[in-house]
């Protein structure tokens, strides 16, 4: 069961990690919405964690995507340092997930939801994936609220 959970988490974060790398660090793109954070990476991560838990949600997993990319870069033939640090917080909302999956059961493909915190070129940011229009707007609203709460702290 642990292997299956890890595999599902890895599959869920792959698009998020790619979105983080492609997103503009001051706004959005077709892949992700990003928001600059005025503070350190550690402060942003702490604020994000508190905002998620403050919504009554449980963090299922935290990926250390930046650490993994830095550790494996040379192994895959790259010397590019994408992030000073980057983590993705994965979680689910029973209420919002039920809403979007009752609208279309295939929205399970987007669960769990993730918000990333990253530091790139000395700039810290928070962000999340841009989901398809329609029922997934409810997920984007949830993620937007969490990010705005983290930015305010």
Give me the domains of the chain, ranges plus CATH numbers. Answer: 2-152 (3.30.310.70)
pLDDT on residue 28: 60
Q: Determine the Cα–Cα distance for residues 52 and 111; give it in Å rounded to an integer.
A: 15
pTM of the model: 0.80
3-class secondary structure, 37: strand
Question: Percent of the chain at pLDDT above 70?
Answer: 81
Residues of the chain with pLDDT under 70: 1-29
C-beta neighbour count of 46 within 10 angstroms: 15
72-88 pLDDT, tens per residue? 999 999 999 999 999 99
Per DSSP, the three-state class of 23 is: coil
Q: Are strands 113-120 and 85-91 parallel, antiparallel or unpaired?
A: antiparallel
153: how many CB neighbours lie within 10 A of its CB? 13
pLDDT value at position 153?
A: 87
């Amino acid at each position: 069961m642990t292997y299956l959970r890890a595999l599902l988490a890895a599959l869920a974060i792959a698009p998020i990690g790619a979105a983080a790398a492609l997103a503009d660090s001051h706004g959005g793109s077709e892949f992700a919405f990003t928001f600059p954070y005025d503070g350190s990476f550690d402060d942003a991560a702490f604020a994000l964690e508190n905002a998620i838990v403050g919504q009554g949600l449980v963090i299922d997993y935290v990926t250390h995507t930046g650490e993994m990319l830095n550790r494996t870069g040379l192994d895959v033939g790259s010397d590019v340092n994408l992030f000073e640090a980057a983590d993705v917080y994965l979680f689910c909302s029973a209420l919002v997930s039920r809403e979007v999956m009752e609208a279309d059961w295939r929205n399970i493909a987007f669960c769990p939801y993730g918000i990333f915190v990253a530091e790139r070129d000395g700039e810290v940011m928070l962000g999340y994936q841009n989901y398809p229009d329609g029922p997934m707007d409810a997920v984007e609203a949830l993620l937007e609220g969490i990010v705005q709460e983290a930015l305010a702290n």
